Amino acid sequence: MPTAMTQELTAALDLRAATGEPGGAEAAGSHAERLQALYPAERAQVTREQGLLLYRDMNLGRRFEDKCAEMYYRGKMFGFVHLYNGQEAVSSGVIRAMRLQHDWFCSTYRDHVHALSCGVPAREVMSELFGKATGCSKGRGGSMHLFSREHHLLGGYAFIGEGIPVALGAAFSSRYKREALGQADSDSVTAAFFGDGTCNVGQFFECLNMAALWKLPILFVVENNKWAIGMDHNRATSDPEIWRKAAAFGMAGEEVDGMDVLAVRAAAERAIARARAGEGPTLLECLTYRFRGHSLADPDELRAAAEKEFWAQRDPIKRLAADLIEANLASETDLREIEKEVDAEIADCVSFALAAPEPDGSELTRFIWADD
């Protein structure tokens, strides 16, 4: 299977090069080759309840994003909107392996699905995308700046790398409370999500250094979807294997198939266990792929059709469905029922957001300064 996978993509990319499609074949097959090296991967063992929860979470993320695209193209949603389709195994695999409302999470501008996985109600996320007062950021943040103190979501950030120092602070706080203030129950772990393009900026290296130096309980989760806007990852970095950068700081580093939620969950569980045991941070590189353009304003003309088709065949939601059925943890009927429930939730959150009030003009300057 892995060898066939590599041959399939290599053949497709050779055809792309021969026909003059953007991007050469010389490095473009590296993602598939790296995936091949990960087989057979260690995958998490889940119960029926856990498996169905993962399936629901991933479907909620996918269908929420599809509805966002519909609302955007209908002129109901404005500004930049970056969707997560295809990467759901990373969000569900990491966040749902952690303790909600105990651990902490920090996102990027591609943050809708992270928020949903953290437990932020779909009504609040959709309302925020519509700029309504009922949004999780009170209509002030929009698509790229989701925040929820209640759900320990430390925010989405429009500029790459901005969220990593924030996540580092949360991890430092967890250790400081335990060791300096004597709070024995302070064992929270923080997950910082960011893309492959972020791994060439200063905050990434500075924060890895500090996290390793102080053995902070943090997971640096790289969602390597191969493209930083329109730049192929292999053309933008001297060493495309990001997880190896952990060695420079003496921390654990691991790469995982980001299209396999059970493999991601297993890797996350290992990293979380290390963090809670006081063994420090982990750099976790998840090899994944976004199914849509960089944003809804991106015509997505730079990526080859053959490449997109290759990754579409590895849809993480379809893979989990097959896994659950094969393991006798769910039936086709069970999965269809979950999909119907999710569709109803999506319809409800859109109706709620459309009917919700706009922020009151009298509150324009509220939250800029701390309340007395």
Cα distances (Å, whole numbers) of residue 182 to 101, 152, 176, 179, 277: 21, 22, 9, 6, 16
Cα distances (Å, whole numbers) of residue 224 to 48, 220, 326, 351, 365: 29, 12, 29, 34, 38
Do the beta carbons of residue 264 and residue 325 sit within 8 Å? no
Give the pLDDT of residue 372.
Answer: 67
CB neighbour list of residue 225: distance below 8 Å, 6 or more residues apart? 86, 87, 195, 196, 288, 289, 290
Give the pLDDT of residue 72.
Answer: 95
Q: Which two structure tokens, joined as six digits, stand for 163?
A: 């969220």
Cα distances (Å, whole numbers) of residue 136 to 58, 164, 222: 20, 21, 25
Residue 254 carries which side chain, given as an amino acid letter? E
Give the pLDDT of residue 48.
Answer: 98
The model's pTM? 0.91
Helix 316-326 with 48-73: angle, nearest 10 deg: 150
Q: Alpha helices, DSSP H only, in the chain?
A: 2-18, 25-28, 30-37, 48-73, 88-95, 112-118, 122-129, 163-179, 202-213, 261-276, 305-312, 316-326, 332-355
The CATH class of 43-356 is alpha beta
pLDDT mean values, one per 10 residues, the chain (372 residues): 52 48 50 72 93 98 98 91 98 98 97 98 98 95 96 96 97 97 96 96 97 98 95 90 96 97 98 97 98 94 92 96 98 98 98 95 84 72
Nearest to 195 by CA among 257, 269, 285, 270: 285
Give the pLDDT of residue 143.
Answer: 95
Give the pLDDT of residue 19.
Answer: 44
User: What tens digit of pLDDT does each residue of 139-159 get?
Assistant: 999 999 999 999 999 999 999
User: How far is Cα 83 from Cα 178, in angstroms, rounded to an integer?
Assistant: 37
Nearest to 41 by CA among 326, 323, 335: 323
Q: Which two structure tokens, joined as six digits, stand for 63?
A: 């269908």
Cα distances (Å, whole numbers) of residue 10 to 17, 26, 167: 10, 9, 38
Nearest to 189 by CA among 210, 204, 213, 173: 173
User: What tens digit of pLDDT does each residue of 15-50 get?
Assistant: 454 444 444 444 446 777 777 777 667 899 999 999
Give the pLDDT of residue 10.
Answer: 54
Do the beta carbons of residue 196 and residue 222 sit within 8 Å? yes
Give the pLDDT of residue 5.
Answer: 55
Cα angle vertex 65, ends 59, 68, to 5°? 140
Give the pLDDT of residue 28.
Answer: 47
User: How far is Cα 91 from Cα 97, in angstroms, rounded to an integer?
Assistant: 10
DSSP code of 274? H
Nearest to 30 by CA among 262, 259, 239: 239
